[in-house]
Structure 1
Amino acid sequence: MGKKEASWVSHAAAVLLLPFNVTVIIPSLLLYFLPFQFVWGTEGGLVFLVGGLGLAAVLFGLLLVVLTVRQFAKRGKGTLAPWDAPRKLVVSGPYRYTRNPMISGVVCILLGESILLGSVWLAGWFALFSTINYTYFIVGEEPELEKKFGDEYREYRRNVPRLLPRRTGWRQGE
């Protein structure tokens, strides 16, 4: 008998342990323990322009994370966590445009936070996190997905880019 669909508790735990830690806990600790000075100043139009750009990145990233968690639950029958990964290959929703929208969402949140707060430490965390994850995709995750899903994943990989999104959403069998 196969595994059951992941529960809402499994999804909540995965979100709290992974993207919440990466985008809230670690940035909070960096800002608390390391010297911080708001680099954009406190007056003028630049603050609002930069703040708006940072806020837009955070909100867009949050939207991507929510949409991908939903796809993992509905279509993949699993969570974003590697210990309870989707049992079916997810190629719908944001996954029609890029192979890694979950991490792209987290990266957008981190970039937005570093812009919004003008923090060099948060920018460094954004760069480190992005580098580690995109390297992991190439050497770890993609070979495992190919083993797990075979030709279905190879077709998906041929048609959907890893990072920069397609202009139009891909549909299986195109």
Structure 2
Amino acid sequence: MRTRQAIAGSALFFVAAPGVVAGLVPWLLTDRYRLAWSTVPGFVPVGWVLIVAAAALLLHAFARFALEGLGTPAPVAPTARLVVGDIYRHVRNPMYVAVLSIILGQALLFSSWALAAYVAIAGTAMVSFVKLYEEPTLARRYGAEYEAYRRAVPGWLPRLTPWRG
């Protein structure tokens, strides 16, 4: 029963958080995606690759929270266990990296300076949230287990080989 609740809560949070940040806001900033596609060589295919790969990564990261952690990414319904499997062995913040990559992909797709500025603002907000809230909260909740994980796995730029903690 706990797994079903975690899946439902994660799905709801998926729509509420990344759905708004990487979907609704870019949609509004691009006049509901009515901008012409970029004419800069390579921007459109690179944009699509970023969007598709990051969306897959984001779904995978959300699934890990529900299935491994038995909770959600939402602060109001945290995981019962520290999530360190699969993609989390390479980078501590794959959801944020994925959301920023989706926005960056859209900025490239449309050659949009508004989206480029938005990805910079969103990235600053995410890094600040992680440093000021998430890391201290996880350190309190999981103690030495989180500290060992934090020391071994980078927060934003993935390591090539998985951590084997």
* TM > 0.5 fold call: yes
2:88 maps to: 95
5+ long unaligned stretches in structure 2: none
Seq. identity, % = 32
Say which of 122, 133, 137 aligns to 2:126: 133
Say which of 100, 119, 136 aligns to 1:143: 136
1:118 aligns with 2:81: no
**Shift in CA distance, 37/8, structure 1 to aligned 2, threshold 3 Å:** closer
1:104 aligns with 2:97: yes
Within a 5 Å distance, the mapping from 1:4-83 to structure 2 comes to: 4-5=2-3, 6-32=5-31, 38=36, 40-41=38-39, 46-47=40-41, 49-83=42-76
The one-letter code matched in structure 2 to 1:4 is R
Per-residue Cα deviation, 1:99-146 (whole angstroms, up to 9, x for no partner): 101111111101101101111111111111011101111121101100
**Shift in CA distance, 8/160, structure 1 to aligned 2, threshold 3 Å:** closer
Per-residue Cα deviation, 1:71-106 (whole angstroms, up to 9, x for no partner): 001110011212112121001011000110111111
Measured in 1, the distance between the counterparts of 2:10 and 2:35 equals 36
5+ long unaligned stretches in structure 1: none
Measured in 2, the distance between the counterparts of 1:135 and 1:12 equals 25
Measured in 2, the distance between the counterparts of 1:162 and 1:7 equals 24
Calculate the TM-score normalised by the size of structure 2: 0.91
Equivalences, count: 163
Calculate the TM-score normalised by the size of structure 1: 0.87
Cα pair 2:65 2:71 within 8 Å, conserved: yes
The one-letter code matched in structure 2 to 1:60 is A
Q: Which runs of 4+ in 1 moved over 4 A?
A: 36-39
2:164 maps to: 171
The one-letter code matched in structure 2 to 1:80 is P
